[in-house]
Each structure stands twice: as C-alpha cells, then as structure tokens.
Structure 1
Amino acid sequence: MSVTVTDCSAESLLQEFHHYLLLERGLSAHTLEAYRRDLRQFTAWLLEQHGHSDLLVVTTELLKEFVADRFEQGKNARSVARSISGLKTFYYWLLDEGQVSVNPVSLLPKISQVKKLPGVLSERDVDDLLKQPDRADPIEARDRCMLELLYATGLRVSELVGLQTGQVSIQQGLVRVTGKGQKERLVPLGQLALDELEDYLRHTRPLIANIGDSDVLFPSRKGGFMTRQAFWYRIKKYAVLAGIEQQISPHQLRHAFATHLLNHGADLRAVQLLLGHSSVSTTQIYTHVANHRLQQLYQTHHPRA
C-alpha cells in the first residue's frame, strides 16, 4: 500500500521531525541522533536504489526491499529493527500532520519475516529486460552491456559504474572488482556477457562522445563515470518497456543473480565469494528462494506429492 503525498523536501521533513522529537517528546540527544542517523541512511538508500528521496511516496513493498538490503549488508536483526522503529515513529508523525494517509511501516511484517528478498525477478523477467536496449544506439548498446554484466556477475551498482577498462579481461573471462573495504575479488564472466562486452569494447564504446583517452568502462554522455542514479533511471525505462510491473532497481539484478544461481544448484559458499560477502550468513537470505523453488519442483514432479 502506498501513501498519499504532498510536496515537501526530505531535508525539511527531517528537520521538522527533529524539532517535534526535541520539543514535544523531550528525547535525549543520543536518541535524537540515532533517529537522525537512521532516517538519513534510509533517505540515502532511497536515492541510491530508486533515484529519488521523496519520503512521502514510500510503500510497504519498498520498505521490505530496504530491510532485505540491510540484512544483505550484514546488519543484524536488532540494528534493522531499530531503523524500522524510527521510520515507524516518523510516519506516524507524518500521519498526525496530515502529510500521508497511511503509515506504510505499520503494514510491514515482523523483521524475522521480511529477511527474505522481496519481488525477486524471474528468469523470464530478466531475459525480457535485457532485450529492451537497442544496439543501434550507442548509449542503449552501452546499457545492454551493463545489464548483461550486472546479471552475469552480481556486482553492486557502485562497483559496476566505477569499472575501468583495465579491470576486465576478455581473454581470461574475468572482471576484477574492488568492493567494500577495498577488498578485491575476481568474478568470472559467462560467454553471453563476454560476447556482449567484446562487441561493446570494439564497436560501441569508441562511438560515445567525449570519451577521449578515458579508461572509464561505461562512460556517461559526457565521458565521465555514470552516477548510480542515472543507471537506475535507465533500468526503470527498460523495465517499463519490458512490461515488468514491480518496482525495479539495479540491486534487484544482483538479487536475481544470486537467486538464479542457487535455483540451478550453485553452492552457497561459491555465491558468497562471487557477491563479495564477508560472511556466508549474509548470503543465506537468498536460500529461502531456492528452497521455495525446490518445494515447487517437488510438488509438481513427485508422484506422491
């Protein structure tokens, strides 16, 4: 369920909420800072993953995605629950102020029930999405290569847009990624992604204006690094063309990468290494999808199911 909106910037809303907590609730400085930090982290996530920071159009489904992402980043249940508690207070305040018509957090299941990933893209959805960019247009051909690479490797969007030409090897079929904490990992590329990348480097990338001698792998129209928000807008465009109704973000292709690997029998430890997770416990949020798939296969094919 979504909320009804009135136009107001995120920063001004957060300032008003801070004043309310300080003057009317009389909260301690420590508690006020915790609220401020959690709400700003959510706003930053909203901008990074969905290309906007409008706190008045937040939905319960979007909050499920936020919770799942926090778990993937290694946050524990207590930390995630605290963030959600702050958001719940914030949206009840907005409700009292007449800024929204419903509190989307109140419709959120318990944290233990939303660890799983919301709205994982099916293999058909991914296939339809990857078919949308037009190879005849250099910018769309670049986008197609980015989408292929994102689904083939499970990179974080920040890792993808920050790639340089020296980090990919067609000959070895590898991409060298610098992830969180400056940790490097080598991720293999499948043949489809390799073919797409080789074609892009040979025929498309030289056609992008202002590229010069830049080593940016996927340059923007101006020749520099593309922003995460710009790439999100590109994905949203292709999702609409593909007829994908659910909300979509670059992170969902990372989710799809992991889920589809597990569905096809990949080892959890291998998926952990490919994703760059420091702990296998973080990767385990994907296993519920694979387990659900196994249950479906059993019900469909076992003679006594």
Structure 2
Amino acid sequence: MDTHDLPPALADAARGFGRYLEGERARSPHTVRAYLSDVQSLLQVAAADGATNLDGIELSTLRRWLGAQSEAGMSRSTLARRAATARSFTSWAVREELLGSDPALRLKAPKRERALPGVLHQQQVLRVVDQLKAAAEDGGPLALRDRAMVELLYATGVRVGELAGMDVDDLDPDRRTLRVVGKGNKERTVPYGLPAAVAVDDWLRRGRPALVVTGSGPALFLGARGRRVDQRQVRTVVKDVLDALGDTAATGPHALRHSAATHLLDGGADLRAVQEILGHSSLATTQIYTHVSVDRLRQSYQQAHPRA
C-alpha cells in the first residue's frame, strides 16, 4: 500500500491496521490488500479535509467518502464492503487509543445485493466427473489429480484456498472425513462420499508418487513440478471442465461450492448442517442457498405443471 502521500500519523495507522489484519486476524493476503486499499482511500479523503491524525476523522468524513463513491457509480455491494472496512478500522483504532470515540458507530450503508450464485444441475455435475474419470483412466498423474480435486471440491464444498492448503494427514480415509482450516484459521471436519474417496485414493496411490520431489512436503495436491498446487492452478482446472460443458453460465471453483450447498438442501439437508459444512460464520450467508433451491423448484413447476 502506498502511504507516502498521507500525513505521518495517518500512514502509521494504516500500516498498524495492516499488521493487525495479517497477525491477530489471520486474514488472507488478498483480503488484507482489499481492506488496506479501502482504508487508504478513506484516509486520503480525511487528509484532503485537513486531518493530520485519526481524531480528524468524523462521521461526516465517512459519509462524504461513501457518498462520493456512490455518485461515481459504485455498486451497493462494494459500498457495503467499504463501510464494513471503515467500521473495522475505526473500531481497531479506538482499541489502540488512536481514536477517542468511534465515528463509524452510526454509519449506514446500502445493504448488499444478494445475487444468486451460479449453480450446476446434478446431471451437469455427473457429466463433469464422468469426463474427468475417463481422462484419468488414460492420462497421467495430473489427470488423476484433476479428477480428485474436482470430486473433493464438489463432495465437500470447500473453498479453493482450503483445498490448496490441505495436507495428506488432513484426510481420514476410514471415516471419510476431511479436516479443513478455513477463514480465521478456524478448523472444521467435513464428510465426503465414496466417489470422492475413490478418486483421492487413486491420486494418492498412482498420481502423487509420480510427482513427489524433495520439496513436496505433506501437501495433498501437487503441481507438475512437485510443489504444492496453488489456487490459480485449481481455478484453471475447474474453469476448463465447466467451459467444456457448453451449457452453463456457472464458472470457477465457487460454482462447485454453490452446487454442493444447493444439492444438499435439495436433498433435505438441515440448513445448520450445511452452514457447518461450508464453514460459514453466519447462518444468513448460508440462507442464500435456500433462495436458489426455491428458484429451481419454481422453474421445475413452471416447466412441468399443465396449469403453471
């Protein structure tokens, strides 16, 4: 983050907040960059208003900052995220005694747009896994890896970062469960089914040993050079198999996460159980999938009922 154009006290506060996010909050590098970009934008507005330290930031400063972005065409979702960042920043500053009172306590922002995520139909998922299974039978270790990664993403609904960070010991093949380290270093245990178990077992027996090098460590999934697979590689694999379907707008690994959650609810799973599987801290986040299920039910009704 470039803080050279900020007064020294404001620049120091921004850097301190960054250290807090990276350390105590254990945020991902991507999240830290997004938060600090928002904070820098806020502090630039405060500096332009004449503030030389955080006590110069008032509720009116925050409102002007968000108002200017709204007029510039920022989406409600972005405004809501930036308001949340401002609240986190000022709350931290009060705890650090850099602010005497929190000006963001009365800050309001538009509610986030609750866009329905892209979801695959179950038959589309079957086509994807069948395609990967056929490729694994005739292909090399990377084909075995790709099949295992996609099966596991769909079976568990884990995030890409969670998958890439898994170690071999995180698997419990006997119970068919997976230890997942999620956001904020929170751990959860997620079950997976027999198809995923078979694919992962094939990868561990026939694929991974062919790629292992001295620096592989305990990583569950490896890249072509034997190092831990990175998120970009996982995203590329999923994008390619979904593009090959040719009849879905769903893209990227999150489509498999969305699909897993929706299919669980379609099959009668309890909402709180799905929340636990996905690692959502709030049940409200999981509830969006109930809207997806209802929407799919409505579509099926309209297509099938003679008097719909």
Match of residue 119 from structure 1? 118
Question: CA shift at 1:225, angstroms?
Answer: 1.7
Q: Which has the higher contact order (CA 8 A, sep 6+)?
A: 1
User: Which secondary structure state, in structure 2, belongs to the residue aligned with residue 131 of structure 1?
Assistant: helix
Question: CA shift at 1:228, angstroms?
Answer: 0.9
User: Which secondary structure state, in structure 2, belongs to the residue aligned with residue 79 of structure 1?
Assistant: helix
Identity of aligned residues (%): 41
* Structure-1 separation of matches of 2:231 and 2:49: 36
* Structure-2 separation of matches of 1:300 and 1:243: 22
* Structure-2 separation of matches of 1:287 and 1:272: 12
Question: CA shift at 1:238, angstroms?
Answer: 2.1
Match of residue 239 from structure 1? 242
In structure 2, the gaps of 5 or more residues are: 1-36, 52-56, 85-109
When normalised by structure 2's length, the TM-score is: 0.62
Which digits, 9 at most, give the CA deviation of each residue in 1:68-110, with x for residues without a partner?
xx9xxxxxxx724859xxxxxxxxxxxxxxxxxxxxxxxxxxx
One-letter amino acid of the structure 2 residue matched with residue 225 of structure 1: R
1:160 aligns with 2:163: yes
Written as runs of structure 1 = structure 2, the 5 A alignment for 1:1-305 is 67=77, 79-80=80-81, 114-133=113-132, 134-135=135-136, 136-210=139-213, 214-244=217-247, 246=249, 248-299=251-302
Which digits, 9 at most, give the CA deviation of each residue in 1:32-89, with x for residues without a partner?
9x979xx9xxxxxxxxxxxxxxxxxxxx9xx89xx5xx9xxxxxxx724859xxxxxx
Q: Is the 8 A contact 2:164 2:231 kept in 1?
A: yes
One-letter amino acid of the structure 1 residue matched with residue 229 of structure 2: M
Runs of 4+ in 1 over 3 A off after TM superposition: 26-32, 80-83, 111-114, 296-305
Q: Residues 294 and 243 (structure 1 numbering): CA distance in 2 closer, same or farther, change over 3 Å?
A: closer
* Structure-1 separation of matches of 2:161 and 2:126: 23
One-letter amino acid of the structure 2 residue matched with residue 120 of structure 1: V
In our comparison, the structure showing a higher alpha carbon Rg is 2
Q: Is the 8 A contact 2:157 2:278 kept in 1?
A: yes
* Structure-1 separation of matches of 2:83 and 2:183: 24
Over the residues paired in the alignment, what is the CA RMSD in angstroms? 4.0
Q: Residues 304 and 219 (structure 1 numbering): CA distance in 2 closer, same or farther, change over 3 Å?
A: same
User: Which secondary structure state, in structure 2, belongs to the residue aligned with residue 115 of structure 1?
Assistant: coil
* Structure-2 separation of matches of 1:81 and 1:180: 19
Q: Is the 8 A contact 2:216 2:227 kept in 1?
A: no
**Between 248-257 and 113-122, the greater mean CA deviation after superposition:** 113-122
In structure 1, the gaps of 5 or more residues are: 1-13, 40-59, 71-77, 84-110
User: Which secondary structure state, in structure 2, belongs to the residue aligned with residue 192 of structure 1?
Assistant: helix
